[in-house]
Chains A and B, each alone.
Chain A
Amino acid sequence: MSKAIVVLIGNNGTIISKHNGKNVTSEFVEKISDENKQNLSSFFNKNKSFPIYIILDTIDQTYKKKTYPSMRQYDLDKIAKRDLASDGDKESLKNYIILKNNKTSSKKSLIKKTDSGSKTDCLFITSSKSENINNWLNFIYELPNRLIGIYMLPVEAFNFFKKIIESTSTIKNHSILKLKENSIFCLVVQTKTGGSRQIVFSNSSIVFTRVVNYNFNESNYSEKYFQDIYSTFEYLKRLYIDLSLSQFEVINIIPETASSEIMKSKNVELNLNNFTVRNSAELLKLNNLKIEDDYFDLLLNSVFINSKKILKFTNQKIKYNENLFLLIFSSYLFNIILIAILFFIAFMVYTTNISITDKIQKAQDQMILAQNEFAKTKKVSMEGNFQQGDKEISIERVADFGRVEESLGPLVKYNFIETYSKMSFAKDFDIAVGSMSYNLSSFNSHNSNTKNSYVETIFSGKLINKSGDIEALFTEFDKFVVEMKKNITDSEIKYNELPRNIDFNQKYYSFPFEFRITKKIFEDKVTENENK
């Protein structure tokens, strides 16, 4: 239930109803004057958070239907607006409703319209601004309340009509009223502000309205009532050529006494449905509405507040006010978002600050630990000079010597005599050594890369076999190899075997040999160190 104030302005007076969601209070004002303005201002000021809706229940409302060829909605809107603007009357309140498009109407529809082809009907509604309306508008403009817009009672009564149809269709006993596609409904109501009125609806929208000149409180209204109903029907026959009385439903929202009077002289042709304002409110479950009289005003206001509005009438000032309201509302919303962002960023700054400060603190602690460790290491580190006899030698110089010794020292140690003496077993063999060569391989004297250096000693000569016997040659060679392997154990020995495909019938008195003894210098050193 929405909160709002509805100002229903009619020719007979104005009803101001306040709807706060729980209950409805109302006030009838015959005419706005300087005397009651103060009271009214105070009422509105007390309820300044309530938006204001103005509903007009005036006599001088015109409903003019115009038919357009079928076109897009956008184009139709443009043409209708242009037609509205072309009207010379700039003061009146004007708007339009696009009625049912013939193209989309059901083929089964029994009611044929006078016009044919796929065309669109547009209902132009105009209400002149009387002095009374102007006075009310000028008064409302100055109020702190938000003015939403101006609405027409007959147009907005369609919502009431729909609801009453829906609510009666759910009751078994009231199966008469049904929203049929081919029916035309005539709603007869009596308001305190505007008097009695017929409003004719099709199943989708208002068709037209007329204010009738009788009063249900008077004695001779019954005759006038039926005359008006028939004249309305005749008028409708011009719009819907096949309309029959059976398709014409009359819904009366009138006092019980009036309806019983009408029913006395009931014309059997007419489909009359009688409701009072009170039982209509009950049907629509408007329990918070206190109906104290038989007028339709309050009931309509309540239904209006709780329904989707159909057609809003406005003017430059209302539009300007609305735009300002929207702007203020948007800026408030934007400010709320900004406040949220502000708090979020403030929180981020705070947490980030704490987190970074914490990180810095931890890092500083770590730095102190590292500094302590550094000082401790420096204290125990071997630096400076040391005394050797009379001389004082710096540690740096010792390191300089050490690095060179580590790299070149093992290469200096090679002893030729020792290697050569290992070959002394050769004296027991009849051999003639022609050459011996020693090579330090993979050694680069410019960068002293000694890591992969190895020593290769090559002995070459010939094995002498005095008997010339091939078997003796093989035996002697094998013995020599065995002896060499036995005596030189720390090196790799490579040699050429005697060829097995030699001519065994020939005599071989000597045979050439070459032994390569390879020793890796640093691998051995590493192994030695590991063994130690």
Chain B
Amino acid sequence: MKINKLKKQLTISLALTMIMLSLIGSLIFMYFYLNSTFLSQYDNIIMEIANIKNRTSEIEKKSLENKKYMQLWSQINESKKSMIGIKVEDMKKIIDNLAEKYSISNTTFKVSVPENYSPSVYKNETISILYTIVELTYNSYHDVKAIQFANEVMNNIHGYPIVTKFEIFKDKDYVVKDYFDISTGKIFGSIRSKLVFSWYVYKEGAPLNSSTNKTNQ
């Protein structure tokens, strides 16, 4: 066969090969491009669906919570809802008045510096929570008076006073002279009590993030 003709055939065949290779290359590129584009589009839609479902679930959850808290709202008394914060002077007045009522003597109380309670605990958004620790010690002449006093102090304090410790000790048994001395104020009653409570109160305003942020009242 003529060599020139063979060469021509070979050239045509090679040209066809090149065309075919470029077509295959284009198709492969198209395949991967379409795949990646479509898959990315698909992934975005799936992510969007997941996001919508999460938001729906959050709303449902929040709605349920809101319903629950709406029911609870009416059961929370006004004293707990008080927004006046921690006022040591007011508290002192309450203690003094009640001490007189229950013949309590030798009352001392310590209040730690109130702190802003971290909003991460209760996820409070609209109000701030303050808290402090109060330690109250006193003497009484009778155990019932000591308990009644403690009980009424707790009932008269607004917010959430949580008693963490309450101790009553009887130092000695009374003799007749003791009754006389108590009535004249020479000695205190032999029932010694110690009341420690954590006190949580509300304060108007959005919460601060730092739990260590201390406020002086």
For residue A436, which residues in chain B have a CB less than 8 angstroms away from its CB? 143, 167-168
Q: How far is the CA of A392 from the CA of B197 in the complex (A)?
A: 33
Cβ distance B144 to chain A, nearest Cβ, rounded Å: 7
Cβ distance B75 to chain A, nearest Cβ, rounded Å: 8
Q: Is A109 an interface residue (CB 8 A)?
A: no
For residue B123, which residues in chain A have a CB less than 8 angstroms away from its CB? 400, 403
Q: Is A71 an interface residue (CB 8 A)?
A: no
Which listed residue (A328, A356, A398, A433) contacts B35, Cβ 8 A? A356
For residue A371, which residues in chain B have a CB less than 8 angstroms away from its CB? 52
Q: Is B34 an interface residue (CB 8 A)?
A: yes
Q: Is B174 an interface residue (CB 8 A)?
A: no
Which listed residue (B7, B38, B121, B165) contacts A357, Cβ 8 A? B38
For residue A405, which residues in chain B have a CB less than 8 angstroms away from its CB? 72, 75-76, 80
Q: Do A320 and B3 touch (CB < 8 A)? A: yes
For residue B133, which residues in chain A have a CB less than 8 angstroms away from its CB? 445
For residue A363, which residues in chain B have a CB less than 8 angstroms away from its CB? 42, 45-46, 49
For residue A403, which residues in chain B have a CB less than 8 angstroms away from its CB? 69, 122-124
**Segment of A140-148, A155-163, A172-180, A199-207 engaged in the interface with chain B:** A140-148
Interface string of B191-216 (1 = CB under 8 A from A): 00000001010100000000100000
For residue A141, which residues in chain B have a CB less than 8 angstroms away from its CB? 1-2
Chain A residue at smallest Cβ distance from B31: A349
Interface size bracket, B side: 35 or more
Cβ distance A517 to chain B, nearest Cβ, rounded Å: 13
Q: Is B106 an interface residue (CB 8 A)?
A: no
Q: Is A315 an interface residue (CB 8 A)?
A: no
**Segment of A10-18, A252-260, A408-416 engaged in the interface with chain B:** A408-416
Q: How far is the CA of A20 from the CA of B55 in the complex (A)?
A: 80
Q: Do B45 and A360 touch (CB < 8 A)? A: yes
For residue A352, which residues in chain B have a CB less than 8 angstroms away from its CB? 31, 34-35
Q: Is B94 an interface residue (CB 8 A)?
A: no
Q: Is B17 an interface residue (CB 8 A)?
A: yes
Q: How far is the CA of A400 from the CA of B76 in the complex (A)?
A: 12
Which listed residue (B6, B14, B49) contacts A324, Cβ 8 A? B6
Q: Given the known inter-chain contacts A356-B38, A414-B163, A435-B170, please indicate yes or no for A367 contacting B7, CB distance below 8 A.
A: no
Which listed residue (A331, A348, A432) contacts B13, Cβ 8 A? A331
Cβ distance B128 to chain A, nearest Cβ, rounded Å: 10
Q: Is A115 an interface residue (CB 8 A)?
A: no
Which listed residue (B21, B53, B168) contacts A435, Cβ 8 A? B168
Q: Is A85 an interface residue (CB 8 A)?
A: no
Interface string of B16-42 (1 = CB under 8 A from A): 110011011001101100110011011
Q: Is B169 an interface residue (CB 8 A)?
A: yes
Q: How far is the CA of A328 from the CA of B81 in the complex (A)?
A: 95
Which listed residue (B10, B124, B125, B163) contacts A404, Cβ 8 A? B124
Q: Do B30 and A349 touch (CB < 8 A)? A: yes
Q: Given the known inter-chain contacts A335-B17, A374-B52, A377-B56, please indicate yes or no for A416 contacting B162, CB distance below 8 A.
A: no
For residue B156, which residues in chain A have a CB less than 8 angstroms away from its CB? none
Q: How far is the CA of A377 from the CA of B56 in the complex (A)?
A: 7
**Segment of B84-92, B97-105, B145-153, B178-186 engaged in the interface with chain A:** B145-153
For residue B189, which residues in chain A have a CB less than 8 angstroms away from its CB? none
Q: A356-B42, A411-B160 are in contact. List 20 more A-B contacts (CB 8 A).
A: A320-B3, A328-B6, A331-B13, A332-B13, A346-B27, A349-B34, A356-B34, A367-B45, A370-B52, A374-B56, A377-B56, A381-B62, A403-B122, A404-B124, A405-B76, A408-B200, A417-B151, A435-B168, A439-B164, A445-B164
